[in-house]
Amino acid sequence: MENRQPDVDPAVVATADDIAAMRTRGAATIADAAAKALATQAERAETTQPAAFERQLRAAAETLYETRPTAVSLPNALRYVLRGMDGETVSELRATTIARAEEFRAELAQAQQQLGEVGSNRLRDGDVVMTHCHSTDALSCLEAALEDGKEIEAIVKETRPRKQGHITAQQLREWGVPVTLIVDNAARRYLDEADHVLVGADSIAADGSVVNKIGTSGLAVNARERGVPVMVAAQTLKLHPDTMTGHTVEIEMRDETEVLADDQRADITGERDDDGLVVENPAFDVTPPRHVDAIVTERGQFPPESIVTLMRELFGETTGEPWEP
Ligand code: RUB
């Protein structure tokens, strides 16, 4: 990473590098890794000055924050942990920060399990579910349905360019779920065989729009046209507080080599040095609320248009940068 703030522990920088390179990926997993990294920073901070300790924690949070812009679970996690940093001495600050990070991680796991039970109630024995990308929140719904004894089959979209659908397929096969893996372009054809589309979310805006892996919105439009309900599994950690005050969610643009490797470029351009070939690689897109049937959270399921009520309840006050006191 470019950002090498002084006093940020190398383990935090390593976590930030893993998130940026997508070795750690998926909104909930990123949030969990960020909270763990802040606990590590708190454990290892070498100072006897409370102000310096706090500065180091905020610098660590900033380093983590700058990795990926779209998943709001990352700033929400950082904010949650830093708000728990409390005390007069370094040892008090250290203990409260570590305890808060542990609390966050436990709540994250619990919320995922709870939303899984809610999502599972929407699934019937024998249902076929189409998935996109790899979402641990979405998989939690399937896991809960399987634990309830329901037979579920899955049509798994491969999800170009990084093919996170393979991770979904691997997990589902471990659970014994019959999987049909398809290329993204085949999704509309296979919707006729699906009873549900089930996806996760990186951010949910106040108007109920769902920001998720690129291709989610096209899938949702096709599903609506085919009469297949679209379920979004998303812990409340995915609700984006800034959107209540009119901000939009930044869509991450990733490196073009994920789409076209350097050594494939010549297949198109030949020997020419051709700057007329542009490759764009947006990682996420926005699905409008009218194409989503239900947002399933640990607090129950919501029609997307009503999610703002829950957001107001959870984030009453406006929020600044996660590292701001
Ligand atoms: C992952 C993605 C997932 C959400 C939700 O994108 O879009 O659907 O992050 O995942 P990427 P989870 O692979 O680029 O991180 O439910 O695990 O939070």
Q: Tell me the average pLDDT across 288-316.
A: 96
Higher pLDDT: 262 or 6? It is 262
Cα separation, 233 vs 212, in Å, equals 11
For residue 214, what are its two tokens?
A: 């690129």
Partner residues linked to 212 by β-bridges: 285
φ/ψ of residue 286, rounded to 5: -115, 120
Which tops the pLDDT comparison, 291 or 263? 291
Say how far apart CA 219 and CA 210 lie, in whole Å: 13
Look at residue 317 in the predicted model and tell me its pLDDT. 63
What residues are labeled active site?
133, 202
Q: What is the pLDDT of residue 318?
A: 56
> Could you identify the residue written with the tokens 């239900």?
294
| Residue from 22, 212, 235 to probe ligand 1 pocket by mutation (most atoms less than 8 Å from CB) | 212
- Find out whether the beta carbon of 238 lies less than 6 Å from any atom of ligand 1: no
Substitution site in 213, 239, 292 for ligand 1 pocket (most atoms within 8 Å of beta carbon): 213
Q: How large is the average pLDDT for residues 26-33?
A: 98
Q: Distance, CA 285 to ligand 1 centroid (Å)?
A: 12
Q: Among residues 4, 3, 69, 65, which one has the least CA distance to residue 34?
A: 65
Q: Is ligand 1 within 6 A of the CB of residue 203?
A: no
Number of residues in the chain? 325
Pocket flag, ligand 1, residue 283 (CB < 6 Å): yes
pLDDT tens digits, 221-232: 999 999 999 999
For the entire predicted model, the pTM comes to: 0.96
Q: Is the pLDDT of residue 157 over 90?
A: yes
Q: Is 287 near ligand 1, meaning CB less than 6 Å away?
A: no
Sign of CA dihedral 297, 75, 135, 100: negative
**Which residue has the CA at smallest separation from atom 11 of ligand 1?**
26
Please give the structure tokens belonging to residue 284. 């996420």
74 C-alpha vs ligand 1 centroid, how far in Å?
12
**Inter-residue contact 119 to 242 (CB < 8 Å):** no
